[in-house]
Structure 1
Amino acid sequence: MVGRANKPTALASTPGLAPQPQVSFSDDNSRVTAVLPTGESIEVLLYGATVISWKDKDGTEKLWLSEAAKLDGTKAVRGGIPLVFPVFGTASDHAQTSKLPQHGFARTSRWEFLGKSTSESTPASSTAADLSVKLDFGLSPAALDSDTKSKWPYVFNMIYSVTLSRDSLTTSLVVNNDDDKPFECQLLLHTYLRVQDISKVEIKGLSSATYIDKVNGSSSQQTQSSALTISGETDRVYTPATPPTDPVSVVEGGKTTFTVVRDNLSDVVVWNPWTEKANGLADFAPKEGYKNMLCIEPGSVVGWQTLEPGEAFEGAQTITISN
């Protein structure tokens, strides 16, 4: 065969098809990355199915991740979006979860990557604005160590979906009770949002909410103002009177930067450690990092969700960024 001096290069994609979202694994199979053709990206650790990065088309990071976060599976990740299940905090007076560690085991278990799906069902008619990619992860008792199983001996199945669109990120958790007896649980999407200056931030959408103030003895309070500002350690569990579809907004310097809409999650935790607490957290870095983060955490954590055998519970959040 005669060689040709100018051979055609391999095609990057099938002719006639719009560019597709790309999904790849790290060399050690510890994390999954998804990138839209327009540049937006997410990165998810299989450890905890923890979203550790969410960037817009310009490469600007939208989540806060501690510089001292452990990403090797030795400790729950400080930052990103850890998953809290089946207990929020600790519950020494709750028989089913009293022996479990802080925030349960979902955030410290290795999840299985189940696959991806995209919005590209009809490529010829789709536009860049329609693009999205969904990553699915699964967790069952088979992934738990014997110690955890002994402390929470229920048969369950969890599916966690992370969907990246051009201007939003949706995270959805479905819990199935596959046991022959009921169990009670709590769940929370422990989202660390990145902000430029916490002193210029207002949180709106909680004006009609009651809340538990965990900094002040877990006292029950009623929101008095239309916007919440952060000027010290804040750890509050809000239960808005408005529907979950009504957004909670993060406004910085007068501009809305994030809106958070919940699905079937009645509570919203607002957390910032401030100076003293940040200094006391070994994996929180830099220590001044509290100025650049704000946790807005949709969940079901006031009381318990009871799942009878065969029942399922689903909760989700959609975070939209304003450009």
Structure 2
Amino acid sequence: MVDRPKKPSALPTSAGSSMPPAPQVDISPSSDRVTATLPTGESCEVLLYGATLVSWKSEGGQRENLWMSDAAKVDGSKAVRGGIPLVFPVFGPPPSSSHLPQHGFARISRWEFLGKSTSESDSSVQLDFGLMSSNLSPEMRAAWPCEFGVIYSVTLGRRSLETRVVVRNEGAAAWEFMWLWHTYLRVEDIHQTHLTGLSSTPYHDRVASAHLTSEPSPTPLTITSETDRVYHPPDPQSTITVHTPAPRYEITRENLPDVVVWNPWEEKAKGMSDFEPKDGWENMLCVEEGSVREGVRLEGGEAWEGGVTVRLVEEG
């Protein structure tokens, strides 16, 4: 877990001159997480377990933008409840013939920290993480015997968080996969939150019926009960905006055709042992970007890339 090799040496400075402050990247003493902090105080924190983003702070480090359950397990005993877990290579329950866990193994595997890079032009820092088939446990290798490599990048900016992934087939045989960012956004009040950018989009309502295709709604989406919908925006470049009593979230996607909107609401939250506080559903909304309606097929040697950028924009 070191920086990239062949990193250029620091430039010498002359007397009376100084270099501008640079982003700081730290690895925890237990080597279980990586934290990046900008000179202005913004930060993000990534567990190596699952490469799960568990914190993204803006406004000089004063505002937390991700919701985390107080009962989330961050010791590797189960998937993290909150933050941004990674869903790969299946979404939801696996096929009956498979022994894969729900939502796959990416979120419950230990990733490798590959290094960092910084940009002086926009005061950003990028963290890179990797997962290969050789990193998997024998049980997961048996459940999904495909040769693969995944590079996951997290870029922290002053008022933005960009996440990108490259999935590569490292073998000769073709295989299919699904990918999803299971993003838990923190909102001030779910009752005063609505989404725009999905109003003309058909969706599958997984609460009413996993097979029901609903007609597009002409109004902004408000959350008034348990919600679990898979939207299929006709324009993959469209912006989805989460309006909440704070800076709004503007979400753009690249090569990701599907968007999941999820909130467990009161009754379901009560039945989830790792969901705390039980009224936490009032302060979170999952807006999840990925490719989950059908699998992405990769032939031997092929690669697939996707990305999400979340920007904070003042209302008004």
What displacement does 1:319 show? 0.3
Give the structure 2 partner of residue 21 of structure 1: 23
Which residue identity is paired with 2:216? Answer: T
What displacement does 1:223 show? 2.0
Give the structure 1 partner of residue 109 of structure 2: 109
What displacement does 1:225 show? 2.5
Query: Is residue 176 of structure 2 the alignment partner of residue 184 of structure 1?
Result: yes
Percent identity at matched positions?
55
Query: Is residue 83 of structure 2 the alignment partner of residue 80 of structure 1?
Result: yes
Task: Map Cα deviations across residues 231-272 of structure 1 (whole Å, 9 max, x no partner).
Answer: 110000000112x3221000124x761011001000000000
What displacement does 1:92 show? 2.1
Taking the TM superposition and a 5 Å limit, the aligned residue runs for 1:1-323 are 15-56=17-58, 57-92=60-95, 98-120=98-120, 126=121, 130-218=122-210, 219-242=212-235, 244-253=236-245, 257-323=248-314
User: 1:47, 1:107 within 8 Å by CA — same for their partners in 2?
Assistant: yes
Which residue identity is paired with 1:59? Answer: Q
User: 1:81, 1:191 within 8 Å by CA — same for their partners in 2?
Assistant: yes
Q: Distance in 2 between matches of 1:249 and 1:143?
A: 37
Which residue identity is paired with 1:292? Answer: N
Gap runs ≥5 in structure 1: 1-12, 121-125
Q: Distance in 1 between matches of 2:156 and 2:247?
A: 20
User: 2:201, 2:217 within 8 Å by CA — same for their partners in 1?
Assistant: no
**Secondary structure in 2 aligned to 1:278?**
helix
With normalisation by structure 2, the TM-score equals 0.92
Q: Distance in 1 between matches of 2:99 and 2:204?
A: 24
With normalisation by structure 1, the TM-score equals 0.90
User: 1:250, 1:256 within 8 Å by CA — same for their partners in 2?
Assistant: no
Task: Map Cα deviations across residues 86-127 of structure 1 (whole Å, 9 max, x no partner).
Answer: 00001325x5xx32110000000000000000112xxxxx4x
**Secondary structure in 1 aligned to 2:19?**
coil
Following superposition, which runs of at least 4 residues in structure 1 exceed 6 angstroms of deviation? none
Task: Map Cα deviations across residues 29-76 of structure 1 (whole Å, 9 max, x no partner).
Answer: 100000000110000000000000000114210000000000101110
User: 2:43, 2:61 within 8 Å by CA — same for their partners in 1?
Assistant: no
Alignment RMSD:
1.3
Q: Distance in 2 between matches of 1:194 and 1:223?
A: 26
Q: Distance in 2 between matches of 1:224 and 1:74?
A: 40
**Secondary structure in 2 aligned to 1:139?**
strand
User: 1:207, 1:225 within 8 Å by CA — same for their partners in 2?
Assistant: yes
Gap runs ≥5 in structure 2: 1-11
User: 1:265, 1:299 within 8 Å by CA — same for their partners in 2?
Assistant: yes
Which residue identity is paired with 1:287? Answer: K
What displacement does 1:84 show? 0.1
Give the count of matched residue pairs.
298
